[in-house]
């Protein structure tokens, strides 16, 4: 049952929002514009208009479009890294389950942060060097933690093959979903993640190995 809330008092709208709220809103609106219109065709003027801020105020939060791109990346990579670290600290799941968790997290981003992901995948090369290094270091940390799962799986005799290439297979299947996955369709992001996890672990061949 939905309980209807009382109308918001007029004074409430005038209460200044926190700087964090503002930043979050700017990043969200900018990512929508980048996704709809394209990163290069979106100006700081467009972003200021979309958020309802004067341009100098926008520049107070983000000195450049690049810095918004970096914040977009920080937001989704910190979600991925945070969830992965929590799981690894708990240490109550085997490698196969941990790989499924990673794949579920990434595929779910295609639902919750689709524009963010696309913008970052397609424009990280254009970040200024210092920001790019920082963004790539976070991606590398995530990649390494996933590769570490394949290494651990190999040590435990649960997984075969090359950890680097297996990680690229995992990321390829899941990341590419930003090009085709439509959250409004019949497949949930969980269906997709589970299917790819099955491919990754067992493949689609009907026979266990080639003659």
Residue with smaller CB distance to its own copies, 24 or 175: 175
Residue with smaller CB distance to its own copies, 53 or 166: 166
Q: How far apart are CA 12 and CA 199, in angstroms?
A: 52
4 touches its own copies (CB under 8 A):
no
Binding segment (CB under 8 A) for its own copies, from list 43-51, 69-77, 128-136, 179-187: 179-187
Burial label for 69, CB within 10 Å (0-12, 13-18, 19+), is buried
Among 66, 132, 152, 171, binds its own copies (CB under 8 A): 171
Alpha helices in 160-188 (DSSP H): 163-175, 177-180
Q: How far apart are CA 143 and CA 145, in angstroms?
A: 5
Residue with smaller CB distance to its own copies, 23 or 194: 194
| Cβ-contact 202, 186 below 8 angstroms | no
Interface residues with its own copies (CB under 8 A) are 38, 40-41, 96, 121-122, 125-126, 150, 153, 157-162, 165-166, 168-169, 171-177, 179-180, 187, 192, 195-196, 198-210
């Amino acid at each position: 049952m939905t309980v209807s809330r009382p109308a918001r008092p007029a004074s409430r709208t005038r209460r200044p929002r926190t700087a964090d709220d503002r930043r979050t809103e700017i990043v969200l609106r900018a990512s929508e514009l980048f996704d709809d219109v394209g990163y290069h065709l979106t100006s700081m003027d467009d972003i200021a208009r979309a958020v309802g801020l004067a341009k100098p105020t926008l520049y107070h939060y983000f000195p450049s479009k690049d810095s918004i791109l970096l914040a977009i990346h920080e937001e989704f990579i910190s979600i991925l890294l945070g969830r992965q670290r929590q799981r690894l600290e708990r240490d109550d799941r085997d490698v196969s389950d941990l790989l499924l968790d990673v794949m579920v997290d990434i595929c779910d981003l295609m639902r919750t942060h689709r524009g963010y992901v696309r913008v970052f995948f397609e424009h990280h090369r254009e970040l200024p060097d210092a920001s790019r290094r920082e963004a790539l270091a976070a991606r590398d940390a995530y990649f390494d933690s996933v590769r570490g799962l394949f290494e651990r799986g190999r040590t435990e005799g649960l997984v075969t093959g090359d950890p680097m290439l297996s990680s690229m297979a995992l990321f390829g299947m899941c990341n590419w979903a930003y090009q085709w996955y439509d959250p409004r369709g019949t497949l949930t992001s969980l269906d997709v993640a589970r299917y790819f996890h099955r491919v990754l672990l067992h493949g689609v061949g009907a026979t266990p190995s080639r003659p």
